[in-house]
Amino acid sequence: MIIDSIEIRETRKEDFHDIMMVEERAFGYDKEAKLTADLLRDSTAKPILSLLAYYDSKAIGHIIFTRVYIDEMNTDQPLIHILAPLAVIPEYQNNGVGGVLISEGLKRLKESGSELVFVLGHMDYYPKHGFIPDAGKIGYAAPYEIPEEYTNAWMAQSLKDGEFTIKPGKVLCCNELNKPEHWRE
Amino acid at 8: I
Peptide bond into 147 cis (omega under 30): no
**For residue 183, pLDDT beyond 80:** yes
pLDDT of residue 161: 86
Cα–Cα dist 143/177, whole Å: 9
Q: What is the pLDDT of residues 117-128, one digit of tens each?
A: 999 999 999 999
pLDDT of residue 115: 97
pLDDT band for position 75 (cuts 50, 70, 90): confident
pTM of structure: 0.96
Peptide bond into 133 cis (omega under 30): no
Cα–Cα dist 97/172, whole Å: 29
pLDDT of residue 2: 80
**For residue 1, pLDDT beyond 70:** no
Instruction: Report the pLDDT averaged over residues 156-178.
Output: 94
**151, 180 Cβ separation under 8 angstroms:** no
**For residue 74, pLDDT beyond 90:** no
CATH superfamily of domain region 2-183: Gcn5-related N-acetyltransferase (GNAT) (3.40.630.30)
Q: What is the pLDDT of residues 37-55, one digit of tens each?
A: 999 999 999 999 999 999 9
- Domain edges within the chain: 2-183
pLDDT of residue 23: 98
